[in-house]
């Protein structure tokens, strides 16, 4: 399972403040905490508070002072993504393109030029479809454009878009079906990723919903997630599911072993 830590997001007040103050130690601390919790990548998101490529560059540089794991550059704007890729020395992941022509044109070549991985969310001109077929159609468009440009399936993450259960409850079962079908799109398959926390937006019991949904999605083929890796219950659920799927060997200390791997 590829875990992408979501906490360096200026939508959270302490991150917004640290970005404003150029408080590198607070950012590095958040990076180290997520790495220790089991993150494979750290997502960096400026939220609504900045559109300045220099802010993203500073965040990327600051994070890689603290950790060696991958960096997920959370922007759909090539003018923000490219400068960040230029300074990124760790593995890099562009988060994200959609199936919209203009986004593909702007972002797929950057993934190729910088040997970056890229997330493609199943959203198009009309937004993100709620049905299985709509999701698959956009997944196929992105898959074909990305692999056609030379991105290997192992560097491509297709994201069929998690929507809030509280407001669109029936979407979750469509989402599980979509994951299962996308996992058969090619051999070897692309990664399949989701922004897990969206599923519990504005709900009670967010941690319970997130971890339950995450392991259900893993059962049908999800192998990557943008999520709160600092939630120990979520990570122990992932460790257990990985052991059930035979991706990690059983030992009596399987949860601890997974965290330290």
Asked if 198 interacts with a second copy (CB under 8 A), we say no
Give CA–CA dist 135/179, Å, rounded: 9
Asked if 260 interacts with a second copy (CB under 8 A), we say no
Minimum CB–partner distance for residue 243 and a second copy (Å): 7
Question: What share of residues in the chain are helix, strand, coil (percent, to 5)?
Answer: 50, 15, 35
User: Of these, 68, 125, 187, 205, which contacts a second copy (CB under 8 A)?
Assistant: 205
The tokens describing 100, both together, are 């919209």
The tokens describing 34, both together, are 């997520």
Strand partners, 2: 224
Distance set, CA 93 to CA 98, 99, 112 (Å): 14, 17, 11
Instruction: Report residue 4: phi and psi, to 5°.
Output: -110, 110
Asked if 60 interacts with a second copy (CB under 8 A), we say no
Judge whether 217 and 227 are in contact, CB under 8 Å: no
Asked if 131 interacts with a second copy (CB under 8 A), we say no
Minimum CB–partner distance for residue 51 and a second copy (Å): 35
User: Of these, 60, 88, 165, 226, which contacts a second copy (CB under 8 A)?
Assistant: 165
Give CA–CA dist 9/56, Å, rounded: 11
The tokens describing 157, both together, are 């993450």
Asked if 196 interacts with a second copy (CB under 8 A), we say no
User: Of these, 54, 79, 101, 170, which contacts a second copy (CB under 8 A)?
Assistant: 170
User: Of these, 156, 209, 225, 227, which contacts a second copy (CB under 8 A)?
Assistant: 209
Asked if 36 interacts with a second copy (CB under 8 A), we say no
User: Of these, 23, 236, 257, 259, which contacts a second copy (CB under 8 A)?
Assistant: 236
Interaction site with a second copy (CB under 8 A): 165-166, 169-170, 172-173, 176, 199, 203-205, 208-209, 212-213, 215-220, 236-237, 240-241, 243-246, 249-250, 252-255
């Amino acid at each position: 399972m590829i875990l992408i830590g979501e906490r360096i997001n200026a939508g959270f007040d302490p991150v917004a403040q640290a970005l404003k103050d150029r408080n590198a130690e607070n950012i590095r601390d958040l990076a180290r905490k997520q790495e220790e919790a089991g993150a494979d990548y750290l997502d960096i998101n400026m939220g609504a508070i900045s559109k300045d490529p220099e802010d993203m560059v500073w965040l990327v540089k600051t994070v890689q002072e603290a950790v060696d794991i991958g960096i997920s550059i959370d922007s759909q704007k090539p003018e923000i993504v490219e400068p960040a890729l230029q300074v990124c020395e760790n593995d890099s992941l562009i988060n994200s393109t959609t199936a919209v022509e203009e986004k593909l044109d702007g972002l797929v070549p950057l993934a190729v030029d910088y040997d970056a991985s890229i997330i493609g969310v199943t959203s198009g001109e009309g937004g993100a479809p709620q049905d299985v077929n709509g999701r698959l159609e956009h997944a196929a468009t992105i898959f074909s454009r990305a692999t056609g440009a030379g991105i290997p399936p192992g560097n491509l993450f297709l994201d069929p878009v998690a929507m809030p259960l509280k407001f669109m409850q029936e979407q979750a079962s469509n989402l599980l079906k979509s994951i299962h079908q996308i996992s058969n799109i090619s051999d070897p398959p692309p990664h399949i990723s989701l922004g897990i926390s969206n599923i519990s937006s504005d709900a009670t019991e967010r941690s319970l919903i997130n971890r339950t949904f995450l392991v259900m999605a893993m059962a049908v083929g999800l192998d990557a997630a943008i999520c709160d890796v600092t939630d120990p219950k979520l990570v122990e659920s992932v460790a257990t599911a990985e052991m059930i799927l035979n991706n990690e060997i059983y030992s009596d200390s399987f949860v601890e072993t997974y965290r330290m791997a």
